[in-house]
Amino acid sequence: MVATKAIRKKWFSFILIILVIGILTCILLNIPFSKINLLSDCAFITSNELSEIEKEGFFGPFVCARIKEDSVVNTIKQNENEIYEPEIEFRLFNLIPIKFQKIKMIRSNKVLASGAAIGLVLKTDGVLIVGSSPVTTVDGERDVLDENILKIGDVIKQIENETVENVSSISRIINEEKNQDRELEIKLIRKNKELTARVKPCYDVKSQDYKLGIWVRDDASGIGTLTYIGDNNRFGALGHPICDSDTKSKISLKEGKVYNCSILGVNKGTSGNPGEIKGLFMQGKNEQGVVEKNNDYGVFGNINDGSVLFSNTQEYEIGGRLSVKPGKAQIRCCIDGTHVETFDIEIIKTNFQNYSNDKSMVIRVIDEDLLNRTGGIVQGMSGSPIIQDNKIVGAVTHVFVSDPSKGFGVYIDWMLNQ
């Protein structure tokens, strides 16, 4: 009898342990840790989204999230936006704290989504080395780049402490009497690092002046797509940086201009050839705004009051990373004239990103009209706003070369945060 009671007790304990493990497993399986982790200190959400995450069930049936009551809310000014930094508290069963996380919240809940084609002209901060040509000296031909002191992609900022403002600056500085026939100090940027090099210019026996024997460029231009216009006419476009066509280096920006652009035609994309939008824009009086930033998430600046670019916009709520999910969506873009159209796409994958990256999601064009006209995503469509559930959630950034119907998009968070 005693043995039977002991056996029953052991079985009861075993069943209880299994039951507890089962309950804990059920709880753990129903906690969306990846969704919680999306709220990193880089997280960027709107006040509307903040209200949503305070609702029961947003992070599963067992976890609730709300602003910590004693959290100090700091206000900072960032690119004309007022950014708040509250602390979010996650609680299991609304009792046990499991995580505290600061976030960034913007007062504005809406922006004007565009999709219009724009022309962009950027002046470099310094001059960019794009190539070289040998200089004929008394000792034979000399190619400075062969000496591995200067390299393609370097941005020359100063020579002998004189600012290099444009292409002609180099010849003027190295041919000044005080600088002739001697080694000169050159300050440059290489892969985002400031460096100092010493180079002796070559005396060209043909032209009878001093040369570095390098090809340089002081501007870049092209077309892209305007993503949004926000508060105080602040805009974001492209979703990726403007790079030099030869060196593929990101343009170091001194100043830039935005122009209205007309699309003349499209080279249809095929496997192995992503295609391209052909556009035309005129500089001068056609200026629509200024570019102040060129970084990994696009170009940013301000649109002029009364610009024609406002006519191709539509107001949408902002949807951060918490709003994006696999499923149907749309893009807005211009592939004919200046008219912005809306086309159906599908978001087929969203990536967990604690740190900013311009490949936040994978998208696929499912609109037969767009596929027939362009083959899918083509060069020039970068920056096309992505709309899901009537919110702007991102922008097109890249096309899959092997399949132009697919591409990458960037979360709108990363663009608004610039």
Please check whether the two domains, 111-121+219-416 and 134-212, share a CATH topology. Answer: no
Domain boundaries, the chain: 31-107, 111-121+219-416, 134-212
Cα–Cα nearest to 67, from 86, 39, 53? 86
pTM score? 0.79
Q: Cβ neighbours of residue 21 under 8 Å, at least 6 residues apart?
A: none
Mean pLDDT of the chain: 81
Which amino acid is residue 204, in one-letter code?
A: D
Q: Are 98 and 92 in contact (CB under 8 A)?
A: yes
CA Rg value for the chain:
28
Q: Judge: domain 134-212, CATH 2.30.42.10.
A: yes
Which amino acid is residue 172, in one-letter code?
A: R
Condensed to tens digits (0 to 9), the pLDDT of residues 177-221 reads 888 888 888 898 888 788 888 988 888 888 888 888 888 888 888
145, two tokens: 């780049």
- How far the first Cα of the chain sits from its last, in Å, is 76
The dihedral of CA 265, 244, 192, 168: what is its sign?
Answer: negative
260, two tokens: 């209205």
Cα–Cα nearest to 379, from 361, 360, 399? 399
Condensed to tens digits (0 to 9), the pLDDT of residues 295-343 reads 888 899 999 998 999 998 999 998 877 778 899 999 999 988 788 999 9
The predicted structure's pLDDT at residue 227: 95
As annotated, the active-site residues are 240, 367, 382
CATH architecture for the domain at 111-121+219-416: Beta Barrel (2.40)
d(CA 110, CA 229): 10
Q: Are 216 and 125 in contact (CB under 8 A)?
A: no
Provide, rounded to the nearest whole percent, the portion of the chain with pLDDT above 70: 79
